[in-house]
Amino acid sequence: MIEEIDRTSSSRDGQAPLLTVAGVAIGYTVDRKFNLAVGDVSFEVLRGEKVMLLGPSGCGKSTLLKTVAGFIEPAAGTVALAGKRDLKPGPDRAVVFQEFDQLFPWRNVSDNIAYPLRINGRSKREASDTARRFLEMTNLSDAADRFPHQLSGGMKQRVAIARALALRPEILLMDEPFGSLDAQTRTRLQRELNEIAERTGVTILFVTHSIQEALVLGDRIVVLGQPPSIVKEIVDVRDVQLDTEDFIRVRRQLRELIADDGEEVDHAVYE
Ligand SMILES: Nc1ncnc2c1ncn2[C@@H]1O[C@H](COP(=O)(O)OP(=O)(O)O)[C@@H](O)[C@H]1O
Ligand SMILES: [Mg+2]
């Protein structure tokens, strides 16, 4: 595979971005009428970074993520991974969704992870060894032989994360993966994800409508406005520690950015 790395577009640290989203507009045709969901969005993700897409419900976060995944073509602008454009869906951009039904219901936990590896050409032995390793990392070893219907929502999401990570993606795309979990489980999985990111150095693009979640997980937060959305601001939060004065200040700043749009924060985002 030929990689056309764009050496002209270097960002902070002089490092070429892994993902470049430039002037992207995306819309849907409904009843022969084309409606823009994403108006004009540009941002970059560096290798090893955790970038959050934060914005109110309906502002086009999932649409953007699906475009990066290669499921939807943008109406304007470009998406490039390591300089490569016209991305088709592929294991270099593994996706974890919000829904609990994203696992193969007829395969046990171990095979849910091993099966996509087999499809992508790994040997049976390698696939099962890799599955075992990622089950350990996500604290699922004891559940290896269980089927999805025998798992809690939190465990299902852990399996989905393990399965995505096992593919060794260039970037992990996550669309509100903890959005349907109870608050306690959500907090635990956020902590686990931070530990996994630290351990693996995986690059993450994460969609959320929770200010708190964006702050807890993110290095940088791309704040989107109402549809057709534009980037309102990109906030660097990597040095913001949980529950410090700084944290409270940035949280207020993010609330104001979103409320600015005439959106009632309490309805638009969950804390
Ligand atoms: N498949 C689709 N067909 C038509 N309209 C869609 C489709 N998916 C999303 N939309 C519309 O695009 C807008 C953005 O949706 P979405 O990306 O799901 O927002 P978010 O993830 O930020 O809540 C919404 O107005 C939504 O109704
Ligand atoms: Mg969505």
Atom of ligand 1 nearest to the CA of 38: 14
Distance CA 78, CA 25 (A): 9
Ligand nearest to the CA of 66: 1
Question: Is-cis flag, bond preceding 228, omega within 30?
Answer: yes
Do 9 and 16 contact (CB within 8 A), yes or no? yes
User: Residue 262 class from Cβ within 10 Å (0-12 exposed, 13-18 middle, 19+ buried)?
Assistant: exposed
The one-character DSSP state at 219 is: S
pLDDT, position 241: 93
Where are the CATH 3.40.50.300 domain residues in the chain?
1-92+170-262
Tokens found for residue 109: 């936990």
- What's the whole-model pTM score? 0.93
Ligand 1, atom 9, lies closest to the CA of 63
The one-character DSSP state at 150 is: G
Walk along the chain (271 residues) in steps of 10 and give the mean pLDDT of each run.
Answer: 44 81 97 96 98 96 98 97 94 96 98 97 97 96 98 98 98 98 97 97 97 97 96 97 94 91 53 52
Strand order in the sheet with 76-81: 76-81, 19-30, 33-45, 229-236, 220-224, 50-54, 203-208, 171-175, 93-96
Ligand nearest to the CA of 27: 1
Distance CA 205, CA 50 (A): 6
Ligand 1, atom 14, lies closest to the CA of 60
The fold for domain 1-92+170-262 equals Rossmann fold (3.40.50)
Alpha helix (H) residue ranges in the chain = 61-69, 109-119, 124-137, 153-166, 183-200, 211-217, 245-259, 265-268
Ligand 2 centroid, distance to 146 Cα (angstroms): 29
Distance CA 134, CA 140 (A): 8
pLDDT, position 261: 67
pLDDT, position 264: 53
179 lines ligand 1 (CB under 6 A): no
Do 60 and 68 contact (CB within 8 A), yes or no? no
